[in-house]
Amino acid sequence: MAKAAAAEGNEELFPLRCCNQLLPVKEFLDLLPEPLRASVVAKLEEISVPPPQRLYCPNDTCSAFLGRSSKTKDVVSCPQCHTAICPECKRTSHSPKPCGPPADDLLREAKGYASERGWKVCPRCTVIVERQSGCSHMRCRCGTSFCYSCGMAQSSCSC
């Protein structure tokens, strides 16, 4: 149960293992109390979507996982904070205006800005992260643990 609780916030811990054996999802879900079971099921749904296709709420105080992004023109509303989201560019809704510069251009510009300031980029979801103090072990909102010094996933870091 402790492994499931830890894994609900960190997708690197999936699939769950015990004694170096994979735990079948159906078997371990039946053993979990309902609130934890619901959280683990939600995390399993999230990690089943490839990171570039995931849609998260762009509201910094929310960041809820909303499912697979789509290129529809229909505005999506975050069920947790009710922020209106453009599913095409994954930013706060700007309807009826068209999407701004392509996200790739903005990301390239943001990465340059971040690099000038010594900030790092999450190796999984490319969110820019700034460390203000503490050790080099970072944990992104997508659940990825990485080394702030080298930028590698924690499992690949040799610092």
> For 16-72, how does the pLDDT look when each residue is reduced to its tens digit (9 = 90+)?
777 777 778 777 788 888 888 888 888 889 988 988 888 999 998 998 999 988 777
DSSP assignment of 76-105: EE-TTT--EEETTTTEE--TTSPP-S-HHH
Domain boundaries, the chain: 2-47, 51-92, 103-147
**According to the model, what pLDDT value does residue 146 have?**
92
> For 112-123, how does the pLDDT look when each residue is reduced to its tens digit (9 = 90+)?
888 899 898 888
pLDDT at residue 100 greater than cutoff 90: no
Number of H-type helices and E-type strands within the chain: 4, 11
Instruction: Give the separation between CA 40 and CA 47, rounded to whole angstroms.
Output: 11
For residue 71, which of 55, 84, 87 has the smallest C-alpha distance?
Answer: 87
Q: What is the DSSP letter of 4?
A: H
For residue 123, which of 147, 158, 106 has the smallest C-alpha distance?
Answer: 147
Question: 121 - beta bridge partners?
Answer: 128
Instruction: Give the separation between CA 32 and CA 38, rounded to whole angstroms.
Output: 9
**According to the model, what pLDDT value does residue 121 have?**
86
Query: Which tokens is 97 given?
Result: 């205006």
- Which residue in this structure is represented by tokens 């015990």? 18
